[in-house]
């Protein structure tokens, strides 16, 4: 509640410095040695560590102290930055994402300090302040302080337990290339009667896009799938066991069917292992009401390509450029916004086994394991070049209202989640 009461909206750069100082103080209060890392124009990265004589292994907690904007204010039952407890639930912006999770890591280690005088292994804390705006400086922070972030196991920021008490864990994240394609055909928009003789950027974009993906949603860029590995038997088993309600999922998105005729385990496999080519935005010409007869001079298309492990963004960009060249689109502008590789921990990894065993014991239910999240995050920053394992588990509930009004943290879930993380560490380092 102390941390939630300190606003830290990175989108508005509001309260970030104050929150970083508070987080550093809270780290020091549990006995951590801290460093406030700074880069020009970036939110401070709060680093902390506590040594242990019990194990030479090191665990790193990645969390963030910034939060989403609180709007729409009118929908909050209590003020977003004046947290309050109602019926065993803390309400406030960041109560779950990610201040509740962050504090759960602090309080867990503080408990070890109080009971045993030290944690079960060396512990590092990496708390950034720009997660909600794309972790834009995280890669720089880590690569400039490489040794500081060395660890054997990484606990990623977040994890949910559903309302039936089934805990979820995730073993990785997809990578991503985000880019914008720009086709130009004329010096200015023209009267559309000229479309009889002048080239159309829009039709050219349609033809270009049509070379990217076929009607079965398969990406047509030669070599795009070359590095994609088959899922292992263990991964397939985890996917098979993963609890996922297809009908409810479709209904909640008002979709009639899954893409490309997917059903059953194919859907779950696609979320884990299907590279995507998504049109995130496209625009040209007249977008207002009624009609305007214009031949637009240019068209823009924003795309995100989700990547799976072993797909190398640099290699894929070369393949995309070669594909465009070969199909007569070599002159089309390709503006890359960001590239990051996927990261995934092997399902047989000791950290995974430890967390699965601990989860079963604490919750009395088999954890629902996401072999990979469908989304993207900078997980690779802490695993590539470190050989670290990483999982994402935590203390939130599936109804925590992340990014929404009345975000909440259930105190019983907080307690169980802390036990789960602690027990996972103990199994991992023993």
Are 96 and 409 in contact by the 8 Å Cβ rule? The answer is yes
What's the rounded Cα separation, in Å, for the pair 280 and 306? Answer: 12
Give least dist CB 230 to a copy of itself, A.
17
Instruction: Give 39 or 260: the residue with its C-beta nearer to a copy of itself.
Output: 260
Instruction: Give 299 or 418: the residue with its C-beta nearer to a copy of itself.
Output: 299
What's the rounded Cα separation, in Å, for the pair 99 and 1? Answer: 9
What's the rounded Cα separation, in Å, for the pair 345 and 155? Answer: 12
Q: Give the HSE-up count for residue 49: Cα atoms under 13 Å, Cβ half-sphere.
A: 15
Instruction: Give 25 or 286: the residue with its C-beta nearer to a copy of itself.
Output: 286
What's the rounded Cα separation, in Å, for the pair 313 and 145? Answer: 24
Give least dist CB 370 to a copy of itself, A.
12
Are 28 and 34 in contact by the 8 Å Cβ rule? The answer is yes
Tokens of 22: 């508070």
Give least dist CB 298 to a copy of itself, A.
11
What's the rounded Cα separation, in Å, for the pair 193 and 39? Answer: 54
Are 417 and 394 in contact by the 8 Å Cβ rule? The answer is yes
Of the candidates 200, 206, 195, 176, which has an alpha carbon nearest to the alpha carbon of residue 301? 206
Give least dist CB 363 to a copy of itself, A.
26
Instruction: Give 36 or 259: the residue with its C-beta nearer to a copy of itself.
Output: 259
Are 202 and 299 in contact by the 8 Å Cβ rule? The answer is yes
Instruction: Give 105 or 137: the residue with its C-beta nearer to a copy of itself.
Output: 137
Instruction: Give 148 or 404: the residue with its C-beta nearer to a copy of itself.
Output: 404
Residues near a copy of itself (CB under 8 A) = 134, 174, 176, 178, 185-188, 190-200, 202-203, 206-207, 209-210, 213, 215, 217, 253-259, 262, 267, 270-271, 274, 276, 278-287, 290-296, 299-300, 302, 304, 306, 337-338, 373-376
Instruction: Give 165 or 328: the residue with its C-beta nearer to a copy of itself.
Output: 328
Give least dist CB 306 to a copy of itself, A.
6
Give least dist CB 393 to a copy of itself, A.
19
- Give DSSP secondary structure letters for 143-173: HHTGGGG--SEEE-S--EE-TTS-BEEE-EE
What's the rounded Cα separation, in Å, for the pair 164 and 139? Answer: 37
Give least dist CB 160 to a copy of itself, A.
15
Instruction: Give 189 or 426: the residue with its C-beta nearer to a copy of itself.
Output: 189
Collapsing DSSP states into helix, strand and coil, what is residue 287?
A: coil
Instruction: Give 90 or 303: the residue with its C-beta nearer to a copy of itself.
Output: 303
Cα dihedral 395, 397, 403, 405 sign: negative
Give least dist CB 6 to a copy of itself, A.
27
Are 404 and 67 in contact by the 8 Å Cβ rule? The answer is no
Give least dist CB 233 to a copy of itself, A.
22
């Amino acid at each position: 509640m102390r941390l939630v009461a300190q606003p830290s909206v990175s989108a508005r750069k509001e309260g970030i410095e104050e929150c970083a100082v508070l987080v550093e103080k809270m780290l020091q209060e549990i006995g951590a040695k801290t460093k406030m890392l700074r880069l020009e124009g970036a939110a401070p990265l709060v680093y902390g560590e506590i040594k242990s004589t019990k194990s030479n292994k090191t665990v790193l907690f990645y969390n963030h102290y910034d939060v989403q904007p609180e709007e729409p204010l009118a929908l909050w039952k209590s003020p977003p930055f004046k947290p309050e407890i109602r019926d065993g639930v803390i309400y406030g912006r960041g109560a779950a994402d990610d201040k509740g999770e962050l504090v759960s890591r602090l309080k867990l280690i503080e408990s070890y300090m109080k009971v045993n005088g030290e944690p079960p292994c060396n512990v590092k804390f990496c708390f950034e302040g720009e997660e909600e705006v794309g972790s834009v400086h995280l890669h720089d922070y880590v690569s400039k302080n490489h040794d500081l972030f060395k660890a054997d196991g990484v606990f990623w920021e977040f994890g949910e337990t559903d309302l039936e008490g089934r805990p979820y864990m995730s073993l990785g994240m997809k990578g991503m290339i985000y880019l914008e394609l720009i086709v130009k055909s004329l010096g200015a928009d023209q009267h559309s009667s000229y479309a009889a003789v002048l080239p159309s950027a829009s039709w050219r974009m349609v033809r270009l896009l049509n070379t990217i993906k076929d009607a079965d949603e398969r990406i047509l860029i030669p070599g795009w799938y070359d590095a994609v590995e088959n899922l292992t038997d263990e991964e397939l088993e985890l996917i098979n066991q993963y609890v996922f309600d297809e009908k409810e999922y479709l209904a909640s998105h008002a979709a009639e069917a899954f893409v490309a005729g997917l059903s059953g385990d194919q859907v779950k496999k696609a979320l884990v292992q299907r590279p995507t080519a998504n049109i995130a935005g496209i625009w040209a010409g007249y977008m207002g009401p009624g009609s305007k007869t214009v031949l637009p001079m240019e068209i823009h298309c924003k795309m995100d390509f989700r990547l799976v492990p072993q797909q190398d963004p640099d290699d894929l960009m070369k393949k995309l450029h070669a594909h465009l060249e070969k199909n007569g689109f070599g002159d089309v502008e390709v503006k890359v916004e960001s590239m990051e590789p996927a990261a995934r921990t092997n399902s047989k990894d000791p950290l995974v086994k430890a967390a699965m065993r601990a989860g079963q014991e604490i919750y009395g239910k088999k954890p629902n394991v996401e072999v990979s999240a469908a989304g993207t995050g900078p997980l690779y920053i802490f695993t590539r070049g470190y050989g670290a394992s990483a999982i994402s588990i935590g203390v939130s509930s599936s109804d925590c209202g992340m990014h929404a009004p009345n975000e909440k943290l259930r105190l019983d879930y907080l307690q169980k989640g802390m036990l789960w993380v602690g027990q996972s560490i103990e199994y991992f380092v023993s």
